[in-house]
A and B are shown apart, each in its own frame.
Chain A
Amino acid sequence: NAGVTQTPKFQVLKTGQSMTLQCAQDMNHEYMSWYRQDPGMGLRLIHYSVGAGITDQGEVPNGYNVSRSTTEDFPLRLLSAAPSQTSVYFCASSRLGGRALGADTQYFGPGTRLTVL
């Protein structure tokens, strides 16, 4: 049981390049999400998904696309990288457990540190 995995761990891009950050979970969680963490700040939600085929925008979605073709995978695509997207990106997953105690706790992957030059 690997939990939430993310690849790559580090990436350097040039302005205008595109790339996909990979995220996978093996806990059969319905809910998956992407956050970014900028220096000295907490995490902010980019996109989320409540199940295969269903995605929606979070707080800071501009410049990013997502898709969810399977329960396990939730890739994040940067369409045309900009220096403002330099950040650490975290993927997280959880059950949609309703009112059960702690059922919707989100578990995070190790993060991807992205630098856009």
Chain B
Amino acid sequence: AQKITQTQPGMFVQEKEAVTLDCTYDTSDPSYGLFWYKQPSSGEMIFLIYQGSYDQQNATEGRYSLNFQKARKSANLVISASQLGDSAMYFCAMSPISSGSARQLTFGSGTQLTVLP
């Protein structure tokens, strides 16, 4: 069984500052992927960044980076230079990785980020 924990229901950050959204996970799968999705008020789920459990380097995608600490089972999302458009709900998720298997995503409960002008 997999579990994702996001302990910050809400976060505030000043525009242009960096913010870290916390995510811890638990799994018995030897290989897994970690994902962050953004859900703006319009409701769609937007993929942001991916980290494989076997990846040696932390993933980066533009202003997004994933601080992956495997021993601590954490996969925190760092957003640099926050923008007003970053205000949204952010979900951490994970899935097992093995050839031909289900890619069931297990989601956390989300963090509502508000960027202040």
Contacts and interface: CB of A to CB of B under 8 A. Distances in A.
B99 A96 contact: yes
> Chain A, interface size: which category?
20 to 34
Contacts of B95: 104, 106
A44 B2 CA distance: 12
Interface string A99-110: 101101111101
B44 A108 contact: yes
Interface of B: 4, 31, 33, 35, 37, 43-47, 50, 52, 54-55, 91, 93, 95, 97, 99-105, 107-110
A53 interface: no
Given A99-B54, A99-B97, A104-B95, A45 B104 contact: yes
A41 interface: yes
Contacts of B33: 102, 104-105
Contacts of B100: 50, 96
B50 A101 contact: yes
11 contacts: A31-B103, A33-B104, A40-B109, A40-B110, A44-B107, A48-B102, A48-B104, A102-B33, A105-B47, A108-B47, A111-B43
B73 to A, nearest CB: 18
Given A98-B97, A111-B43, A106 B103 contact: yes
A108 B91 CA distance: 13
Contacts of B99: 96, 98
Contacts of B55: 101
A106 to B, nearest CB: 6
A99 B100 CA distance: 11
Given A42-B108, A107-B47, A108-B45, 19 more contacts: A31-B102, A31-B103, A33-B105, A40-B109, A42-B109, A42-B110, A43-B91, A50-B101, A98-B97, A99-B31, A101-B55, A104-B33, A104-B95, A105-B47, A106-B95, A106-B105, A108-B47, A110-B44, A111-B44
B47 A58 contact: no
Contact of A104 (B46, B103, B108, B109): B103
A59 B102 CA distance: 12
